[in-house]
Each structure stands twice: as structure tokens, then as C-alpha cells.
Amino acid sequence: MMTPSERRDTVQVLVRRGISQRKALRYLGLSRRIASYAPRQAAKDQAVAERLLAASPKVPRFGYRRMAAWLDLGEARVRRLWR
């Protein structure tokens, strides 16, 4: 399995080698939409990730559920970043 960012990078490699973007996407079996998509969540997640990294050495026994409750964050977001 490839992550979406890895798919975009793969398309860019093929484009740099001289293949058109449309042909590269068709060859890889991807949608044309994936080439123009820009994730917007990274900036919001950066602040939460820094808080998690700063707090985890203080309480190393906490899992993602206790850490989410302790930092008063959403459990789903902490679980995604914890991985």
C-alpha cells in the first residue's frame, strides 16, 4: 500500500522523466484529482504533535487515550498522530 503523498511523489517522478501527467496517472491507475490535491491538515496537526511529544516523556505510561484526556484533545486525532 502506498500513502497518498507517496502516490503524488511517484507521479512527479514520472512527469520529471518526460511522461505527461495524464499518462502517468493513467499508467498508475490513479485519479487526476490526486495530482492537484494539497493536504491542509498538516499545519493543525503540527501543534498537536508538538504537545504530544513534549508531554510523552513526562508520563511515559500513558497511552493515546489517557494522553488525549490529559491534554484535553480529541481521541481520534491523538490516535492518528500517536501512530
pTM for this one?
0.52
* Nearest by Cα to 39 from 8, 12, 16, 18: 8
Please report the pLDDT score of residue 75 as a whole number. Answer: 87
pLDDT digits (tens, 9 = 90+) for 43-81: 778 888 888 888 888 888 988 888 888 888 888 888 888
**82 vs 10: which has the higher pLDDT:** 10
* Nearest by Cα to 54 from 38, 73, 40: 73
Asked if 21 contacts 15 with a C-beta cutoff of 8 angstroms, the reply is yes
Task: Please report the beta strands in the chain, taking only residues with DSSP state E, as ranges in sequence order.
Answer: none
Least confident of 13-17, 28-32, 33-37, 42-46: 42-46
Taking residues 8-27, report their average pLDDT: 94
